[in-house]
Amino acid sequence: MVRRISVIGAGYVGLVTAACFAELGYRVTLLEIDPERLDALEHGVFPVHEPGLPELWQRHLAGGRLHLTGNYEHGLEGSEFAFIAVGTPSTKNGKPDLRWIRSAARSIAEAANGPIIVVNKSTVPVGTADLVAKIIARYKRNNHDFAVVSNPEFLREGWAVFDFLHPSRVVVGSADMNAAQAVSQLYEPLGCPIILCDAGTAEMSKYASNAFLAARISFINEIALLCDKFGVNVMDVARVVGMESRCGDGYLGAGLGWGGSCLPKDVRGLIYMAGSQRVSTPLLRSVLRVNLRQPQIVVAKLQRLLGSIRGKTIGILGLSFKPDTDDMREASSLFVISLLKEHGCQIKAYDPAAINNAAKLMPTVTYCGDAYEVAEGSDAIVLVTDWDEFKELDMIRISSSMACPILIDGRNLYDPEEMIQAGFIYEGVGRGEISRKKPEVTLVKHEIQPELEAIESIQS
Ligand SMILES: NC(=O)c1ccc[n+]([C@@H]2O[C@H](COP(=O)([O-])OP(=O)(O)OC[C@H]3O[C@@H](n4cnc5c(N)ncnc54)[C@H](O)[C@@H]3O)[C@@H](O)[C@H]2O)c1
């Protein structure tokens, strides 16, 4: 018998979950309450940019394995599983906002007309499986059995379909092992390791994974600052570090920092959870602080190279928080552009997919049709998002059309030598500064002097 699944929320995760479960042969109904999003999907307008997803979606919609509705009763009819994939953004103090989880749980309880396994796929704090169970017990309209399972999602935007279908692991946590087993069976065709655990372990594992990824990037960004000062290339350093099996080579790319819909809110969420138990988290706080500092590097570099930047036109290449998505949530471009505007700069920008979303958040930016238009007459360009498209640009054409050919490569996408050959004054992140004056070696020496003295005294 074909298994029937409902997925709640047609966002990045819900759309991927629904289309990929259909790909695995299940009959899936996607439930969405936003009428605009529902309408767009019903009229074949795909609401997010995610490579491969619209094609998969259309194929299974046409093939009848995938269905879409705004009505919970229709959406849950005959479903054994309801996967909740609604947003869990941060509130001001970092607390994960669970209002959409609560409302989805209540709607499921009120509409389900048979036994159901409710699965939290959203990223939620420890204890949320219990909260959902309480809501369902309170609002369910009949005596059918239900169970709650935590099954966090680890996909990366831009790679979402691939990640869902080729996961490194699937985590399924619940107090009800039969329900957990039933959920894990859905993933068996993927042939990946499946970790069965309690719900709290599953919930915490997701936060810990994201916080660890964020920590790695903040770590290499701090090293990149040092590399800039000492004229060392952080990319070579990261390669050496990454070759050590105890370190691993993922998430060691220095740049303008991490953003997006997950890492920032999940690090803040973990700090909030710790606070609720009166546990201090100096490491996690530093991970955030280092990240907040990264956009300021752009301003510092431009000021060093241009002098005053007031009134200068700065071109921005890339706006989305990473390539291959149109997601602008906590994108580095927002912070970089806001700082540049505070310093009186005019901003021109281009992104292959995110201009519509960006324009809603930053209406005073001049949006361009391509990177060449951005470069025309600009005093500097800053590469913020490393879309593949930017690797293929005619960089001589770009540099020769600029008022001043400064390129700040915020993702270390380009080869510095090639950029200098193409006529740029080039700076990456952690690849050595081009100073107008001699590097301030004395200041650095002064700062590390006590440590140096201590080491020397031990050696002598
Ligand atoms: N985006 C990612 O890359 C990613 C990766 C892993 C995990 N997650 C987690 O997955 C969850 C969802 O993230 P997202 O980026 O897909 O969110 P999203 O904001 O893109 O989408 C959420 C969708 O749910 C809908 N919705 C809200 N309440 C609803 C309800 N009661 N019934 C039906 N639909 C409802 C919204 O209208 C929206 O379309 C979050 O907890 C997030 O942290 C996201």
> Is residue 412 pLDDT above 60, yes or no?
yes
List the 27-31 sheet strands across, edge first. 66-69, 27-31, 4-8, 81-84, 116-120, 146-150, 170-173, 194-197
**Catalytic (active-site) positions:** 262
Mean pLDDT (whole number) for 120-142: 97
**435 — pLDDT class (breaks 50, 70, 90):** low
Q: Which of 119-123, 208-212, 360-364, 431-435 has the lowest mean pLDDT?
A: 431-435
Q: 439 CB contacts (<8 Å, ≥6 apart)?
A: 229, 231, 433
pLDDT at 189: 98
pLDDT at 434: 80
Tokens of 98: 């669970």
Give the Å distance between the CA of 252 and the centre of ligand 1: 27
Polymer length of the chain: 460
Candidate of 7, 13, 266 to mutate for ligand 1, largest count of ligand atoms within 8 Å of Cβ: 13
Q: 378 CB contacts (<8 Å, ≥6 apart)?
A: 313, 314, 315, 348, 402, 403, 404
What does pLDDT average to over the chain?
A: 94
Candidate of 79, 86, 106, 213 to mutate for ligand 1, largest count of ligand atoms within 8 Å of Cβ: 86
Q: 191 CB contacts (<8 Å, ≥6 apart)?
A: none
Please choose, from the candidates 49, 53, 11, the residue with its C-alpha nearest in 3D space to the C-alpha of residue 351. 49
> Where in 390-433 does DSSP place strands (E)?
406-409, 425-427
Tell whether ligand 1 has an atom less than 6 A from the beta carbon of residue 32: yes
Sign of the four-CA dihedral 350, 352, 354, 355: positive
Locate the domains of the chain by residue range. 4-197, 210-427
> Is residue 459 pLDDT above 50, yes or no?
no
- 210-427 belongs to which homologous superfamily? NAD(P)-binding Rossmann-like Domain (3.40.50.720)
The three-state secondary structure class of 438 is: coil
> Is residue 259 pLDDT above 50, yes or no?
yes
Dump pLDDT digits (tens) for 381-410.
999 999 999 999 999 999 999 999 999 999
Cβ(433)–Cβ(439) below 8 Å: yes
Dump pLDDT digits (tens) for 65-89.
999 999 999 999 999 999 999 999 9
> ∠72-74-79 over CA atoms, to 5°?
90
Give the Å distance between the CA of 146 and the centre of ligand 1: 23
Tell whether ligand 1 has an atom less than 6 A from the beta carbon of residue 135: no
CATH number for region 4-197: 3.40.50.720
Cβ(21)–Cβ(5) below 8 Å: yes
> Is residue 452 pLDDT above 80, yes or no?
no
Mean pLDDT (whole number) for 189-206: 98
Q: Do domains 4-197 and 210-427 have the same CATH topology?
A: yes
Nearest CA to ligand 1 atom 15: 12
pLDDT at 433: 86
Cβ(259)–Cβ(332) below 8 Å: yes
Name the residue type at position 410. Answer: G
- DSSP conformation letters of 58-77: HHHHHHTSEEEES-HHHHHT
pLDDT at 1: 85
Give the Å distance between the CA of 100 and the centre of ligand 1: 9
CA distance 193 to 219: 29
Tell whether ligand 1 has an atom less than 6 A from the beta carbon of residue 47: no
Dump pLDDT digits (tens) for 103-121.
999 999 999 999 999 999 9
Tell whether ligand 1 has an atom less than 6 A from the beta carbon of residue 100: yes
